[in-house]
Structure 1
């Protein structure tokens, strides 16, 4: 028998290490060539790792949440062959698969890799969540033998928890993290209980891994390094909402317009007079780069957490093109198909809670940018117009800025410029 050490290949430019976010095999499992064995997350994307050979898994490099350096051993696979140096399958794997090293089976037992679960080297069942007792199993959801739809992250979490997705109640067949949360909270042998039911529930430690750990690290670094301030102003969008309704009624085959494309156009038109808003601050070098082009980050909520796909050259797009790009990028982020280049390089970010809205937000800056803009919910309220009281549609617009780069006066003046464009929407289409 011979052993292969499958080393983590270079999976991204400038990446020094990657995090194990899911194992699809355990020690003792037989794997086939090209079978998916692990999911590794870099700063930009999640990459599926495939076995370069057919054999039996004998060692794993860690548990879910551990970091593995590029070029380090990810797993060891035992393959058929009497002479490791002459095994045809080894030669084939070495030629075809970067990051795979040929290792002859030694006479003495080799020093094990740092294995998940301790030094004993027993089979590892990596888990994103540790629990003291298995969750209760509610009655079947009625989906029968239908295929249950769920993202890879949801499937991995359900596997770690020992939950059969077929018994999790969901809106339709698509199971999300919120459905798993509801299952864990309210599931019982007698069925689901209403949320107000009073009963003791066990503590559930949740390991912070994958996208959630990236978000935690980035947000902590941003708040730790950047002196934030937030400015909020109220905008009358009555005329804009009427225009938006007319355009949607006559859109034909074009995408439906939300408020966001109009806001982006207004932002791009106002930015030339406020170049410090569309900037990135390298605090180590002490350099602020004011960008001429607007590569707009768009915060999007996904099952895995918050992602920020980027609308390239937003200043060159009209409302219809922006609506199409927003839809495309949001779908790519939700389904995990966004490319690494679509998730990096933003110069300014917009974050919106959509229908949840809220009266005002104080968003956290997407470092190393220096500002982030947050539109809030549109509400209908009476306002004075001269001596008359009229019905108006109003929206609060928030902006958080890096006070090292942007002064309060500049932030307020920028929002006032955006406000003027939105309250007189014909200006959005004027040359």
Structure 2
């Protein structure tokens, strides 16, 4: 028998060290070739480390959350034959410890379809939570629970740190009346437990990037309301006519198109600022980052060359990238190189938000939810669909007047959607 040592690989882009995010194996496990052994986190993406051999894990080279240098020993595997390490060169094994599970953050994704309920459905096993305690769950799961008439605080979560998943809602429903006799008082029982969760992996990278952005850039935000009645009518018409053959359109590809057209007159928004070199780089190509929440954290996959894409092309690319990001399959190339970012909280978008810049970009456009409101149009009170854009800019590079004019240009394009396609 021999020992095969796997070292932390050179992931490229000049990266000298990476963070060990999660082990998928432990000492004593039998592994096969191409089996994923660990996840490591770079500044831009999560990377799987597969096994090149069959064998038995005999030592782990680090613990989740540890920053490891490229070329350091990641894992040692006992293999048949000589292996790739001489007996005299074997490193001392690192004792395996119980690795803490990295917390997942809320994902902003489309919820699973569910028929709305007007009354609570049958309840499954209840969980004792304080009345004001907010259970861990993604916005999609919260929406799903609301549609099903389920009180989320009563559902036992099977995800990390007790996170409630879609599967938990289905299991809750499947229990039917079998647990209907569970004492209601349990839901109001006092709790004094505590839980500590390490900030590692993607969550730590997000924290570092957000802190860096707010410390380095001079943020200012600008909010404008937009009448999206006309463009929503156009979207519904296109979906009815072409949805079956070309795919359904959300509002996002229209917003991407509006960005592309508006940037022709405001190229200073489609830029990156190198504050160390004191250089602003304006780009002709519009690479739109679409902020996407995933189970491993906030990611910004990039719709490249949005200026050359049709509505359906943009829609297909946004969908593809969002799926890849949520599944943790987005590549480093797909998560880097954006020139301006579009962020949306969908139905949970609230009235106003203050998005944080995705450095080194100088502008980010935030989309709030669409609501119907009475508006005065030509002296008459009518119901219109209204939506706010809450956008942030780097005041070191972008003047307030230019930011306002830029958002007003987007407003004009969305309120008169034919102008999106007039060259």
State the TM bucket, normalised to the shorter chain: 0.7 to 0.9
The alpha carbon displacement at 1:50 in A equals: 2.8
Alpha-carbon distance in structure 1 between the residues aligned to 2:168 and 2:281: 47
Aligned 1:114-129 pairs, distance under 5 A: 115=94, 121=95, 123-128=96-101
Query: What is the aligned partner in structure 1 of residue 43 from structure 2?
Result: 43
SS at match of 2:385: strand
Alpha-carbon distance in structure 2 between the residues aligned to 1:194 and 1:339: 49
Query: What is the aligned partner in structure 1 of residue 276 from structure 2?
Result: 284
Alpha-carbon distance in structure 1 between the residues aligned to 2:375 and 2:186: 39
Alpha-carbon distance in structure 2 between the residues aligned to 1:24 and 1:50: 10
User: Which one is further off, 289-298 or 53-62?
Assistant: 53-62
Taking structure 2 as the reference length, what is the TM-score of the superposition? 0.78
CA offsets 1:191-210 (integer angstroms, 9 cap, x no match):
79799634214111011111
Aligned 1:39-118 pairs, distance under 5 A: 39-80=39-80, 87=82, 90=83, 94=84, 102-105=85-88, 112=92, 115=94
The alpha carbon displacement at 1:111 in A equals: 6.5
Alpha-carbon distance in structure 1 between the residues aligned to 2:336 and 2:184: 43
Alpha-carbon distance in structure 2 between the residues aligned to 1:321 and 1:103: 54
Query: What is the aligned partner in structure 2 of residue 214 from structure 1?
Result: 205
| Aligned counterpart in structure 2 of residue 171 of structure 1, from 166, 169, 174 | 166
| 1:105–1:27 Cα change, 3 Å | farther
The alpha carbon displacement at 1:295 in A equals: 0.2
CA-based RMSD: 3.1
Alpha-carbon distance in structure 1 between the residues aligned to 2:327 and 2:60: 28
Query: What is the aligned partner in structure 2 of residue 272 from structure 1?
Result: 264
| Runs of 4 or more above 6 Å deviation | 190-196
Alpha-carbon distance in structure 2 between the residues aligned to 1:3 and 1:46: 27
| 1:77–1:65 Cα change, 3 Å | same
Alpha-carbon distance in structure 2 between the residues aligned to 1:124 and 1:402: 44
Query: What is the aligned partner in structure 1 of residue 138 from structure 2?
Result: none
Alpha-carbon distance in structure 2 between the residues aligned to 1:192 and 1:26: 40
| 1:194–1:428 Cα change, 3 Å | farther
Alpha-carbon distance in structure 2 between the residues aligned to 1:257 and 1:374: 19
> Do the aligned residues in 1 keep the contact of 2:370 with 2:385 (CA within 8 Å)?
yes
CA offsets 1:90-137 (integer angstroms, 9 cap, x no match):
2xxx5xxxxxxx23246xxx7636x4xxxxx3x32222269xxxxxxx
> Do the aligned residues in 1 keep the contact of 2:268 with 2:282 (CA within 8 Å)?
yes
The alpha carbon displacement at 1:239 in A equals: 1.5
| 1:232–1:198 Cα change, 3 Å | farther
Gaps in structure 2 of 5+ consecutive residues: 104-123, 127-157, 173-178
Taking structure 1 as the reference length, what is the TM-score of the superposition? 0.77
Alpha-carbon distance in structure 2 between the residues aligned to 1:359 and 1:224: 26
> Do the aligned residues in 1 keep the contact of 2:102 with 2:201 (CA within 8 Å)?
no
The alpha carbon displacement at 1:320 in A equals: 1.7
Alpha-carbon distance in structure 1 between the residues aligned to 2:405 and 2:380: 29
Indicate whether 1:224 and 2:215 are aligned: yes
Alpha-carbon distance in structure 1 between the residues aligned to 2:250 and 2:48: 35
> Do the aligned residues in 2 keep the contact of 1:65 with 1:209 (CA within 8 Å)?
yes
Query: What is the aligned partner in structure 1 of residue 347 from structure 2?
Result: 355
CA offsets 1:159-198 (integer angstroms, 9 cap, x no match):
xxxx799x997434799xxx9xxxxxxxx9x979799634
Aligned residues: 364
| Aligned counterpart in structure 2 of residue 243 of structure 1, from 220, 234, 239 | 234
Alpha-carbon distance in structure 1 between the residues aligned to 2:331 and 2:186: 39
